[in-house]
Amino acid sequence: QLQLRQSGGGSVQAGGSLKLSCTAPVFISNICGMDWFRQASGKQREWVSSITTDSTDGSTTYADSVKGRFTISKDKAKGTVYLQMNSLKPEDTAMYYCKIRYGRSCRYDYWGQGTQVTVSS
């Protein structure tokens, strides 16, 4: 029922940049990971990027399609995750969704409502 709040989407020319943000509307305890997914029209949802949020261990991972162009970052205390997108391509056009994983064994999650990113040639 609870949805993360997303912003930063929009339309941009190829080669441009956008920065997405995703914030929990309430305090979430024991956040263990944050993720971005995207779903192009008529296509299946795909994973884009993840970041771990442990105090003693953190790492980022990216889909091959965005590696070197996108950067994920977070503010765990604020329950916020960002996705800086550079050198955007038309194939990046999709609805982007964020997810925050939390709780024991990282088995619970919240999702954002999605924000549209459109990249034109």
The whole-number pLDDT of residue 6 equals 96
The whole-number pLDDT of residue 111 equals 97
The whole-number pLDDT of residue 55 equals 56
The Cα 60–Cα 14 span in angstroms is 25
Contacts of 19 (CB under 8 A, 6+ apart): 8, 82, 83, 84, 85
Q: What are 42-68's pLDDT values in tens digits? A: 999 999 999 987 655 569 999 999 999
Mean pLDDT, contiguous 10-residue spans, the chain (121 residues): 93 98 92 95 97 74 98 88 97 97 92 97 93
The whole-number pLDDT of residue 21 equals 98
